[in-house]
Homo-oligomer: A and B are copies of this chain.
Amino acid sequence: MLMQILDYVGVAVFAVSGCIAASRKGLDITALIFFGVLTGIGGGTLRDLILGVPVFWVVSSSYLAVCLAISVIVWFTADSIEKLGKPLRWADAIGIAAYSVMGAGKAVQLGHSPLVAVLMGISTATFGGVLRDMVANEPSAIIKQEIYVSAAAVGASFYVTLYMVGVDPWFAAGIAGAFALGARGGAILYGWSLPGYGAPKTIVRWHGKKPHDSDKPDDDTTRS
């Protein structure tokens, strides 16, 4: 039940982020739906393939209906949504919070080790967005010097730890999700980042880009 709610939340908000990305590219309605579906179900599809269980949206096509409905709504409202400020980033952030908990939760329920569960949480949380960015030909948030993978890691490892010590799953999910969302939200609002690998020589060799070039917290245009 908890897992299913998180699944629907994750699918819905990732679908929003995919549709926003497509609307920014000026794509047509079919391509926008495609991006919504791809981003919405991408992470969960990878999770199910790796865990060797039936893919969730093949079992229940209501997930696809959710993506379709979201796509149509965003098609008519993307302009207004943009005015809320950084909608792609925030949808992505909620998705990371929901999916890091859910990916890890599904893996521990299947009896996998904590390490596998944490990695499943991180992969599930980040893969939809990575897919969206790769197909949209934009650099992924993963390679910006911001808290991104770290937020997913926080959500997944908090949930697994709390679950292991016997905390009620709903409570554990609430705590873990809140911390993940808080960590990513701090990056969006205040540009929070962890210290990056800063060997000067190396960085200069890397096309001469400074590591913090793209770390503009108020930039919600390209990848958001």
Q: Give A residues with C-beta under 8 Å from B.
A: 22-34, 37, 45, 49-52, 54-55, 57-58, 61, 64-65, 68, 75, 78-79, 82, 112-113, 115-116, 119, 122, 126, 130, 134-137, 139-140, 142-143, 145, 147-150, 153, 193-199, 201-203, 205-207, 211-212, 221-222
Contacts of A116 in B (CB 8 A): 57-58, 61, 64
In the complex with contacts A24-B203, A50-B49, A206-B221, A197-B32 CB distance below 8 A:
yes
Asked if A31 and B134 make an inter-chain contact with CB atoms under 8 angstroms apart, the answer reads no
Asked if A30 and B153 make an inter-chain contact with CB atoms under 8 angstroms apart, the answer reads yes
A interface secondary structure, majority = helix
Asked if B119 and A37 make an inter-chain contact with CB atoms under 8 angstroms apart, the answer reads yes
**Bound Cα distance A211, B221 (Å):** 15
Asked if A134 and B134 make an inter-chain contact with CB atoms under 8 angstroms apart, the answer reads yes
Contacts of A23 in B (CB 8 A): 197, 199, 202
Contacts of A142 in B (CB 8 A): 31, 34, 135
Q: For A115, give its contact among B55, B65, B75 (CB under 8 Å).
A: B65
22 inter-chain pairs at a CB distance below 8 angstroms, sorted by A residue, are A24-B203, A25-B196, A26-B145, A26-B196, A26-B198, A27-B197, A28-B147, A28-B150, A28-B194, A28-B197, A30-B153, A31-B148, A37-B119, A61-B112, A65-B115, A75-B197, A78-B197, A78-B202, A135-B143, A137-B139, A137-B143, A205-B221
**Bound Cα distance A103, B215 (Å):** 40
Within the complex, the shortest CB–CB distance from A109 to chain B, in Å, comes to 14
Asked if A201 and B82 make an inter-chain contact with CB atoms under 8 angstroms apart, the answer reads yes
Q: For A119, give its contact among B64, B78, B199 (CB under 8 Å).
A: B64
